[in-house]
Structures are given as C-alpha cells and as structure tokens.
Structure 1
C-alpha cells in the first residue's frame, strides 16, 4: 500500500486516487530563460522516479509538467540578449529537453506552455472577478484579494496577519491588501501582450499554473508537485486561485522536493557555487549523476560535492560489475514472489524511499556475484530482477560494457587504441617483458582505464 508524505497535512497518508486505478499529477516546470541547474535536476529526476513507480505499480498515470515561457525574467533576458522572446525560449526549451534526456527522464504526457493557455487564464481571472476574489487596480492590473480566501496559508502554514505585518512599506498603492498578488499585468512598451476584457496585457506567474493544470487535468486532481522553494508563495497562491474559482479542492496530495546544497552551503550564484546540468555532465557520467540524485530521500536536502559524485559513480559501477560476464540477451521472467521485489516495493511504498530501494539492488548484486560461479541459472534470475528494479529508478538499462567503458568526462578516448595497447601488453607479458607490460598498465591507469586480468584474458573499464 503506497504511502506519500502530503505537505498539506504534513504527514504520510495512504494514497487513494480520485478515480480507482488512475492518477493525475501536475508538476511545476521550468521558466526557460537560462540553463537548467542541478536543483532542477534533483526535482525532476525525483518526479521522474515517482512517475515510473506509479506506472510500475499498475496505475494509469497522466503526468503533466508545464513550461513557463512568459515571465519578467524572460523579458529581461531577451532584451539583454537583443533577441525575441520566442528565440530565447525556443533555444532554452531545446537545451532543457537535451539535458533531461541525458539524465534519463521520461517525457511527461503533456507539456503545456503558458503562452498557449491565455484563453484559460483569462477565463479563470474573469471567474475570480465575478466572485469578488479579484479586482482591477488604478494602474489597470488585476489583483487577487488574499484576505477574501479564508484558507490562505493552509499549505505553507503561514499566518496571514503576520505576513501582512511583515510586508515592506513600499507596497503598490492600488492594492487593497499588502498580500494581494497580480493576476494580469497591463501591457508595457516593447513587451509581449494579449487581448483581454481589461485591455492588452500578460498573465502573472501564479495564475498560469492554475490555468494549465485545469486545462490538462480538470478542477480537481490527485498530485501536485514541485521544489520546496515553490511551496510559498507560488503553490499557496495556486490553491487560493483555483479553489476560489472552481469551488472545490484543487489537489489532494502535495509533494515537495528538498533543495540542493553545494559542499553543505546553499547553492547560489552570489556564492559562486552554482552549477548547471551541462557543467556537471561534462565531468561525470550522466547515469552516475542520476544515481546521485536518488541517493538521498527526495524530501531531504542533497549535498552536491565532488566526493559524493565520485561515490555515486563507484556505487553504480559496483552494480554494473555484478552484471558483467553474464549473458543478458535472454533473461528469465522476474518472479512476483521474489523477496527482493517485496523489499523494493516496501521501500518505494514508504514515500518513494529511493535510498532503501537502492539498498535492495546492492543485496541483489551481492547474491549475483556469489551465484556466478556456483549457480548460473540463479545468477541470471537475480540479474533479471536487478535490471527490472533498476529500470524503475531509471538506472542499469545500459549493457555493463557500455557503462563500464564510458568516460566520466563524457570524452571517451579511442577504444580501438586501448585494445591495441592491451594486446601489446599481453604480448609483453608473454615475452616476459614485465617492464613494458607495467608501463602500459600505468599509462592506461593515468588515462582512467582500469585493467583486470582474469580467466586468461584482460578486460577493462573506466574509473
């Protein structure tokens, strides 16, 4: 039975979908004006695994991850680059997809864009105005009136009076309350705009997700997710907008991922410890980066460091080494009665506990290594389990040779040259020219190539 920590109740709850056997999930995506960073990778790899496990558990999942393609930051960056907003967002959307593909993420079922949901945004805003939850300020902007929504703060547990007292003095004079937030901004010169009943303008950030989720999943759906930094004010404002407009519960379960630290400090451009996904993938194998992202529970903080990335790479290598030297071309079916499968499901049913699930993979790898020399049939059955369960986490889907011979830097040296050097070394050993044999081993070792002599042959892998 699947139990999920719900940020709304601040407790683990037994998951019960609105429609038996079907799950609807909306995850707040990226504002595409720059390269995606490792914080994005952590969040979206986590939700990729959640989606994979829901499907593995037999649910018919509809997974939505939006793209924010109109925003103050996007406008500012396009102006800075002297390019159109479309050119900027199209370029970084392509880069985002390439990065996410490198990390083995399955594409969402629908990937709505804010600019393609303007009609739905206007419709919700008009409903909020009709119901008295929104108003037009003196400058023409449309605001959501926060005090009108009695449940404001129920997700983030923020106190409205305390929030109002803490607001800075410089609040827009045409707001009825300091906490009110913009739903529709009136057009400014040289900015993109759309027609609306209130004049030319563009949407505020928060209303975009309320509109896109409704467009794709309806008024009420099962799971809403995102990084913990979105819990307030973004997700709080989404609840206020959607529940006021639709008159029903917005999302039953709220899932939030923990933040990434760098060497135990907050990741920040100002601290010069900010890493994009591309920068990290230039240094480490992409599957090892994915493994690292899953090595801590999704709700906990994740500490990015060279030491932790190298440890993740070494751990994944151990799993692949257990599969080496086995014929994986025709594996037996995995038994539903497997103790390892039961342990894996128990871990994942406990709020998607990937560290505990990974521990099961290492138990399997240990048993495979034991069985290789004594019971090949059992070794192959265990290998089938390891590959299937690894697939739920999005790992162990390459051939062992492909992974073990891939470079951590992503720049593989010539495999044929390595083969020639190994052949030369073997000849040197046959000629008892130990000095030359050791010289070649040391040369390859310096290039990050590890040689293993066994059963009369030499195999190699990269560190």
Structure 2
C-alpha cells in the first residue's frame, strides 16, 4: 500500500540531542533509539494506524503528529536511517459495521477513508512511513505467524476460530501494568470476548476468525477466514522491523489490550524480550467534555477544518500546544490562538535581520529531546519572536541577518511548521 509524499526536513547546523521518551511499561524516561547515531543501525518505530471508516479526526492527527516528531528528532540527532512502519486495519468489525449501516461496500469505504487520511497527513506535513501496510495485504504474514504460534502450543482452536493463550508469555501484563481484574474489564470494553465458551482464559485473544456468512474471508492454510486485530500489527512489525524495536507507539487506549497482546504474540514466537524497548502512548483528545471517539460521534475532522479555510500549519500548531502524553480538550479557541501565533512567527522571520537564534535552536533541541516537550518548544520560539517584533531595528552585534532563515529552518525541521 502506498503512503503519502514526503517533505524532506531542512538540515540544521550541528546535531540534536538524544531523544528520551516516557516508557509506559516502566514509567521512566528512556533514551531512544538504543544505538548511537554513529552505529549505522536503523532507528525502528512501529505506530498503529487507523481503521478507515472515519478519517481523520483531531485525535488521530495528534497521535501521528507526536510520532512524526520522533522521526524528526531522531533525524536531527544524526540517525540517517529511520524505519517507521504503520499499518491500516482495512478489514475489521468496526469497518464492516459502518459499511453495513451506511449501505456501502466495505472495500470502497476503506479505500475512500484511507485516501482521505493520506491527504490529511500530507497537509499536516507528517513524514510518511518507510512501510505502510494494510491488514488485507498482510494476510500471508498473519497466517505464517499464527501457524508458528500453533506449532509452539501458544495458540489453539475454539471451534474453527484460533485464539492466542496470552499466559504462554510469562511476562504478559508488563506493557500496561494493569492488574488482572482491570485487564478483563478493559478487554471487554475494547473489542475482547472474555465470556466466549471454550477459551482457556477470558483474556485469550482472537488470532483468526473463521469465515462467517455475509462477511469477507480469504482461503488460507488456516481455512477460510480473516485476521484478528492484535496479530495484524505483530506480524507486520516482525516482518518489516524485526524484534526488539526501539519504539512501539500509538494512542494511550492501545496500551491494553492491543500493545499488550501484540507484544506477547511476538515475544512467544521469537523468544526475544522485550518486543519494544519503549512503549510510547499519546493522550486522548476530548470534545464537549468527552473523549473524541467514533462511537460517540463527537469528532472534529481535519478535512472539514481544511475545507473551512483553516491552514493545516495552524491546525498542527494547535496540536503542538499540548504535550503529546496529556489528555486535552479541543476548543475552537485553540485554532484561533494557533493562527495568531503563526502570523506572529511569520512576521518575525520576514524581517531582513533579527536577534541571533543559535540559543533558540539549542533550546528547541533540548525541549524536544525531553519527551517531546512541544509546549516548551513553542514558548521558546514565542520568546524569540516577541523580542524581535518589539525591538524595531537591529544594529551592530545585535544584528544577525541569518537568524530569520535559521529559525524558519529549525521550526520546519523540528516541529514540521512551515513558515
């Protein structure tokens, strides 16, 4: 599956700092990637993608902006090889349910919403993934992984369906840190089937769903059917990145069960632990006091904001005003403030000369390397901009004709904001 066009970040003088990200599994800040920039080893990150039946709301945009920053900070720190992989769950129950509700063909719906997602990612200047893989095209990878799990005894049949025995992984639960009672509650709320008869344990998750009447299926060595949810990402990540990746990313609602299950599946079949050195999770975005979600229908769509004449760069700035791990609520005033901020930044860099910006570049690098502190980074740019706009003309040692260009390149390379 094709991703979207790239926008190559400008090269900045010097080298950025090592990125430290908050790891959900340990509750600590961890340097990423594990290897140095001079080792020649690629920096590897897998980020879970959309189920394309409604794209792209601000919650999506916030998550993918966060992990876009990871790529940018890594590249600025000298990691020339960044391997970012993202999936598209282009066959799954929510997609089929929406298609049936709307009287639409599920494939047409998936293709349309994936195309819209690509347009939004391009507009928001999100760097494209190294590999962009759909669940349908990954079915051979899923089948191979399920067969390996069956051979190891970690998977078993319930009727014609196939389930993963989550406790075949001795470290199951380490990603999210949830206690067993809460695991079962969350599992039921997020697509699990804890009460299905015949399972070894309520938390065991579906690997392969045997063909159902009226639903899409594929004929494979496992029989006719389609993939379960968690196995898709495990199979894609192992194929294109291998085990022991640097970062597994996604929204905080994916920590359990999705990332927990996928990690367990990968760890059991490879024997290598941990599957990811860091599990990084973006916060949830709310609207009208409730988490923005498709089921509630309280969504703000990037495409509709763009159609209303709002510049994508301002939308991105509105997102960057919030720390990626924080839960926050969208208000129209966020976008108004971002548009005002963007206008001031552009006014400052349009000056023929300005205050020196070397210290600003250093601060930007420092703030972003500290768990992607975008509010701190924006405040640093605001400080430079306010000083420039308040000072009139510059002369002598104060003047630096190269500063406006350096600031423009820095916010483009590090924040993805085009001035």
TM-score with structure 1 setting the length: 0.78
Structure 1 residue runs without a partner (length 5+): 399-463
1:236 aligns with 2:260: yes
1:273–1:345 CA distance, 2 compared to 1 (3 A): same
Give the secondary structure class of the aligned counterpart of 2:217.
coil
Change (3 A) 1:91 1:176: same
Match 1:210 to one of 226, 234, 252 = 234
1:15-59 Cα distance to aligned partner (Å, 9 max, x none): 342573530111001011223211101101111122112112111
Partner of 1:254: 279
TM-score w.r.t. the length of structure 2 is: 0.86
Aligned counterpart, 2:349: 323
Q: 1:16 to 1:275 in 2, by over 3 A?
A: closer
Asked which structure has the greater RCO (Cα within 8 Å, sep 6+), the reply is 2
Which is further off, 201-210 or 146-155?
Answer: 146-155
1: distance between equivalents of 2:185 and 2:216?
Answer: 35
Secondary structure of 2:219's partner? coil
Bigger Rg over Cα: 1
Per-residue CA deviation, residues 399-458 of structure 1 (Å, 9 max, x unaligned), is xxxxxxxxxxxxxxxxxxxxxxxxxxxxxxxxxxxxxxxxxxxxxxxxxxxxxxxxxxxx
Query: Matched residues in 2 for 1:89 and 1:214: separation?
Result: 24
Aligned: 1:339 with 2:359:
yes
1:130, distance to aligned residue in structure 2 (A): 1.2
How far apart are residue 380 of structure 1 and its match?
2.6
What residue in structure 2 maps to residue 351 of structure 1?
Answer: 371
2:329 to 300, 303, 309: 303
Residue 3 (1) aligns with residue 28 (2)? no
CA distance in 1, matches of 2:374, 2:255: 23
Deviation at 1:372, TM superposition (A): 5.5
Q: Does the Cα contact within 8 Å between 1:361 and 1:389 map onto a contact in 2?
A: no
* 1:10-409 paired onto structure 2 within 5 Å: 10-18=27-35, 20-21=39-40, 22-59=42-79, 60-137=81-158, 139-160=159-180, 163=183, 171-249=195-273, 250-268=275-293, 273-283=298-308, 284-326=310-352, 338-369=358-389, 373-375=393-395, 378-398=399-419
Is contact 1:185-1:202 (8 Å) kept? yes
Give the whole-Å Cα distance in 2 for the aligned partners of 1:9 and 1:67.
Answer: 28
Aligned-residue offset at 1:367: 3.9
Q: Secondary structure at the match of 2:136?
A: helix
1:189, CA displacement in angstroms?
1.9
Structure 2 residue matching 1:195: 3-state secondary structure: strand
Inter-partner Cα distance in structure 1 for 2:145 and 2:294: 36
Deviations 1:297-327 (A, max 9, x none): 1101122101222112111211111123539
Q: How many residues align?
A: 390
Counterpart contact for 1:144–1:180, Cα < 8 Å: yes
Tell me, yes or no, if the aligned pair for 1:291 and 1:312 is still in contact at 8 Å: yes
Query: Counterparts of 2:151 and 2:187 in 1: how far apart (Å)?
Result: 28
Q: Distance in 1 between matches of 2:213 and 2:70?
A: 43
Give the 3-state SS of the residue equivalent to 1:184 in structure 2: strand
2:183, 2:332 → 1: CA distance? 40
Compared with structure 1, are the counterparts of its residues 236 and 165 closer, same or farther at alpha carbon in structure 2 (3 Å cutoff)?
closer
Q: Measure, in 2, the Cα distance between the counterparts of 1:57 and 1:345.
A: 9
Output the CA distance in 2 between the equivalents of 1:34 and 1:291: 23
List alignment gaps of at least 5 residues for structure 2. 1-17
Distance 1:100 1:166 in 2: 30
The DSSP-based 3-state class of the residue aligned with 2:286 is strand
